[in-house]
A and B are shown apart, each in its own frame.
Chain A
Amino acid sequence: MSLLKIQNLKANINGNKILHGINLEINPGEVHAIMGPNGSGKTTLASVLAGNKQYIVTDGTIEFDSKNLLEMETEIRSREGLFLAFQYPVEIPGVTNINFLRVALNEHRKYKGLEPYEPAEFLKLMREKAKIVEIDPKFFSRAVNEGFSGGEKKRNEIFQMAMLEPKLAILDETDSGLDIDALRIVADGVNALKNKNNSFLVITHYQRLLNYIVPDFVHILYKGKIVKSGTKELAMELEERGYDWIKDELS
């Protein structure tokens, strides 16, 4: 049974129609990549999945783990196992990483009917997960993303993902603004977290990231629709021939 099933999804922001009927199905353990030129609707799709209310869904359905995702509030989607690694992670002055994650994880546990973590147990978990993305424990007591470099912010997203252990992680242009070393750390982190039960939706403009996080399927999003799907070779072809090839083919 599929983990995510999107059917005929249409969405607007500020009255502008961005998504014109998306169909996509992701099974547990699969890595899907969505590629597309600027303005094709990649971030809109990620935002709609995460429950950003600025985007209005006008048609279509989304099933997540056999439940109606569109009926869930943002926090419920998270507790049900959906995670969005933001393209531009927000700085939250005054809220420390450790406090933020403790509250978040304990809300997840409460949702599952579990007791909150003991402080020592929680700290141990944080230390373990921090290793995956090479985060210094000194980061724990710093405010969320405040004063972080672009690369640190992206690593922090993957760190949060490691802590929350989602069923489906959506990586929204996680590679943008990363140098090659940071890209490798982020990709290694994702690969370390990958298993047969969880799935990834990797949204990217470039093929570069897909050398490190190898997708099972590649979809090309153009003008709010998936116009072509294939395997990782499609990404290679796109890299070689550019998006104009797709545009020409469609016109």
Chain B
Amino acid sequence: MSFKEYLINNFENILAKYNFQNLEERRTTFKEFEKEGLPNLKNEDWKYTPINFLYNNDFELIANPQLDITSFTKKKSNSYIPENSNIFTFCNGIFAENESINLGDVKLEINDDIFNNISDNFPDGQMKASLNNDIFYKINQSLAPKSNKINIVSNSNPTTIILAASGETSNSFVNSKLHISVDKNVETSIFIYYLNTNQKKVFINQLLEFEIKENAQVKIYMIENDDNYLINNISLQQLKDSNLQFHIFSLRGNFIRNFIRNSLDATGIQSVIYGLYLPNGNDIIDNHILMTHNKPNCHSNQQLKGIMQDKSRGIFNGKILVQKDAQKTDAYQSNKNILVTKDASIYTKPALEIYADDVKCSHGATSGFLQEEELFYLTSRGIGVEESKSLLLKAFANEIIEKVTEENLKLWLQKEIEILI
């Protein structure tokens, strides 16, 4: 049975079993999925991102999880969690109160209102369409159990979000929806982890929304560091004079697809995305970015780097879209890649689409093997070949790690990189 057949055959049972609400909307959305099916390589957005892991389905949708506390505690302790952090844990899309700590900076709201989406506010048609046409977004909208909302209202403590997936005896398929809003003038850091606490495989289909309000100063550290199959649809909206640093580290994972859509909807916004992806084995890691400038005088910058080892594959597809009102836009994008072996691959496609006439935009992409001249230089000083390669790769990765201002996280990342490279 294919994944599609599994979902179609079980859709009504799932709705009934878990007592999902908004049935009519869910059914309407699901019909669209039924009609279109899973994306294939003919779909431009999935051209280089094969989802072979779904051809023969062995996942089961589970929305009433029993969190395996032993496994959860172990994985949590292997993650970097800052001191004095609020912790919000969700297991299979459902809030896990026992594993959460609210120090009073955060308001939590859980309801059935899953069809109220931040993308409804996106002023730009292309942006909306990009999300609304995403099949996994539709699946998420049909099958996410709850609408979880976190509202960060003060800037005293960081917030850690743990999106755990559990499943007892089967490979579990998880749909999860989380909306995070940061209030006006709040300065905060948010740490996000995806943990597999199942003994078996998990496939997480995540919808994450961020609403960064006026003059909020936000750092998001997204750390993908577990053996998941992860589809991560990330919608962001930034308001006037807000400042966002979005760090995304894809360290481990069998399959990761991040699609970051950021809508800069007012003036004076700063938005930076730093990304590092390190697939090995047969991993596939895909980063799609759509950065939309809708208003004047905003600055955006995307810097992503990848190191592809073994037979792994990296995909980068990033676009800066500058609407005609967005004069004096200052937007940059860079994607640099190193292939460690001849069996590794990278598909990179930077793009600009500009409708305003007074803007500064640039983009660039590089990919290649380690430079023979650099390796020769290092070995000529007595450093062995493997050690030389490792030095060069770590230096390459370090440029992105250095952007992290949280010193302890930086050290934690460097330790992880030591293991991975």
Which residues of B, 346-404, contact A by the 8 Å Cβ criterion? 371-374, 376-385, 387-388, 391-392, 394-396, 398-399
A164 contacts partner chain B, Cβ-Cβ < 8 Å = yes
Identify which of B381, B385, B398, B399 contacts A100 (C-beta below 8 A): B381
A75 contacts partner chain B, Cβ-Cβ < 8 Å = yes
A160 contacts partner chain B, Cβ-Cβ < 8 Å = yes
Please state if A75 and B377 are interface contacts (CB–CB under 8 Å): no
Residue in chain A with minimal CB distance to B388? A75
Please state if B377 and A92 are interface contacts (CB–CB under 8 Å): yes
**Residues of the B chain whose Cβ atoms lie less than 8 Å from the Cβ of A164:** 381-382
Please state if B385 and A94 are interface contacts (CB–CB under 8 Å): no
A111 contacts partner chain B, Cβ-Cβ < 8 Å = yes
Taking the closest CB of chain B, its distance from the CB of A125, in whole angstroms, is: 15
Please state if B382 and A160 are interface contacts (CB–CB under 8 Å): no
Residue in chain B with minimal CB distance to A93? B395
* Complex: A100 Cα to B395 Cα, angstroms: 11
Please state if A75 and B395 are interface contacts (CB–CB under 8 Å): no
Identify which of B382, B385, B392 contacts A104 (C-beta below 8 A): B382
9 tightest Cβ-Cβ pairs between the two chains A and B: A94-B395, A78-B382, A74-B379, A104-B381, A90-B377, A75-B379, A95-B395, A79-B382, A107-B382
Residue in chain A with minimal CB distance to B397? A94
Identify which of A84, A95, A101, A103 contacts B380 (C-beta below 8 A): A84
Which residues of A, 26-70, contact B by the 8 Å Cβ criterion? 50-54
Please state if B391 and A51 are interface contacts (CB–CB under 8 Å): no
**Residues of the B chain whose Cβ atoms lie less than 8 Å from the Cβ of A99:** 391
Which residues of B, 188-220, contact A by the 8 Å Cβ criterion? none
Please state if A51 and B399 are interface contacts (CB–CB under 8 Å): no
Residue in chain B with minimal CB distance to A85? B380
* Complex: A111 Cα to B384 Cα, angstroms: 11
A73 contacts partner chain B, Cβ-Cβ < 8 Å = yes
Residue in chain B with minimal CB distance to A54? B372
Please state if B396 and A94 are interface contacts (CB–CB under 8 Å): yes
**Residues of the B chain whose Cβ atoms lie less than 8 Å from the Cβ of A86:** 377, 380
A108 contacts partner chain B, Cβ-Cβ < 8 Å = yes
A89 contacts partner chain B, Cβ-Cβ < 8 Å = yes
**Residues of the B chain whose Cβ atoms lie less than 8 Å from the Cβ of A92:** 374, 377-378, 392, 395
Q: What are 19 A-B pairs at a CB distance below 8 A?
A: A74-B380, A75-B379, A75-B380, A75-B384, A75-B385, A77-B380, A78-B380, A78-B382, A79-B382, A83-B380, A86-B380, A90-B371, A92-B374, A93-B395, A95-B391, A103-B387, A107-B387, A143-B395, A164-B382
* Complex: A89 Cα to B377 Cα, angstroms: 8
* Complex: A94 Cα to B399 Cα, angstroms: 7
**Residues of the A chain whose Cβ atoms lie less than 8 Å from the Cβ of B396:** 94
* Complex: A79 Cα to B383 Cα, angstroms: 9
The answer to whether residues A73 and B379 also contact, given A90-B374, A94-B399 and a CB cut-off of 8 A, is yes
Size bracket, chain A contacts: 20 to 34
* Complex: A86 Cα to B378 Cα, angstroms: 12
Chain A CB within 10 A, most for which of B376, B380, B391, B396: B380
**Residues of the A chain whose Cβ atoms lie less than 8 Å from the Cβ of B387:** 103, 107
Taking the closest CB of chain B, its distance from the CB of A159, in whole angstroms, is: 12
Residue in chain B with minimal CB distance to A74? B379
* Complex: A164 Cα to B384 Cα, angstroms: 15
* Complex: A92 Cα to B371 Cα, angstroms: 10
Please state if B383 and A107 are interface contacts (CB–CB under 8 Å): yes
**Residues of the A chain whose Cβ atoms lie less than 8 Å from the Cβ of B372:** 54
Please state if B378 and A100 are interface contacts (CB–CB under 8 Å): yes
Count chain B residues whose beta carbon lies closer than 8 angstroms to a beta carbon of A.
23
**Residues of the B chain whose Cβ atoms lie less than 8 Å from the Cβ of A108:** 382
Taking the closest CB of chain A, its distance from the CB of B276, in whole angstroms, is: 13
Please state if A107 and B374 are interface contacts (CB–CB under 8 Å): no
* Complex: A83 Cα to B395 Cα, angstroms: 24
**Residues of the B chain whose Cβ atoms lie less than 8 Å from the Cβ of A50:** 376, 380
Which residues of B, 216-271, contact A by the 8 Å Cβ criterion? none
**Residues of the B chain whose Cβ atoms lie less than 8 Å from the Cβ of A73:** 379, 385
**Residues of the A chain whose Cβ atoms lie less than 8 Å from the Cβ of B382:** 75, 78-79, 104-105, 107-108, 111, 164
The answer to whether residues A100 and B380 also contact, given A75-B385, A92-B374, A94-B399 and a CB cut-off of 8 A, is no
Identify which of A74, A104, A105, A160 contacts B376 (C-beta below 8 A): A74
**Residues of the A chain whose Cβ atoms lie less than 8 Å from the Cβ of B394:** 94
**Residues of the A chain whose Cβ atoms lie less than 8 Å from the Cβ of B391:** 95, 99-100, 103
**Residues of the B chain whose Cβ atoms lie less than 8 Å from the Cβ of A103:** 383, 387, 391
* Complex: A107 Cα to B392 Cα, angstroms: 16
**Residues of the A chain whose Cβ atoms lie less than 8 Å from the Cβ of B384:** 75, 107
Residue in chain B with minimal CB distance to A84? B380
Which residues of A, 125-141, contact B by the 8 Å Cβ criterion? none
Binary per-residue interface labels of chain A (79-123) against chain B in the complex, 1 for a CB within 8 Å, 0 otherwise: 100011010011011110001110111011001000000000000
The answer to whether residues A75 and B383 also contact, given A93-B395, A95-B392, A103-B391 and a CB cut-off of 8 A, is yes
Chain A CB within 10 A, most for which of B372, B379, B395, B398: B379
**Residues of the A chain whose Cβ atoms lie less than 8 Å from the Cβ of B377:** 86, 89-90, 92
Please state if A52 and B376 are interface contacts (CB–CB under 8 Å): yes
Binary per-residue interface labels of chain A (153-174) against chain B in the complex, 1 for a CB within 8 Å, 0 otherwise: 0000000100010000000000
**Residues of the A chain whose Cβ atoms lie less than 8 Å from the Cβ of B392:** 92, 94-95
Taking the closest CB of chain B, its distance from the CB of A54, in whole angstroms, is: 8
**Residues of the A chain whose Cβ atoms lie less than 8 Å from the Cβ of B395:** 92-95, 143
**Residues of the A chain whose Cβ atoms lie less than 8 Å from the Cβ of B381:** 75, 78, 100-101, 104, 160, 164
* Complex: A19 Cα to B387 Cα, angstroms: 32
* Complex: A78 Cα to B380 Cα, angstroms: 6
**Residues of the B chain whose Cβ atoms lie less than 8 Å from the Cβ of A90:** 371, 373-374, 376-377
Taking the closest CB of chain B, its distance from the CB of A70, in whole angstroms, is: 15
**Residues of the B chain whose Cβ atoms lie less than 8 Å from the Cβ of A75:** 379-385, 388
**Residues of the B chain whose Cβ atoms lie less than 8 Å from the Cβ of A78:** 379-382
**Residues of the A chain whose Cβ atoms lie less than 8 Å from the Cβ of B398:** 94
Taking the closest CB of chain B, its distance from the CB of A114, in whole angstroms, is: 13
* Complex: A73 Cα to B376 Cα, angstroms: 11
**Residues of the B chain whose Cβ atoms lie less than 8 Å from the Cβ of A89:** 377
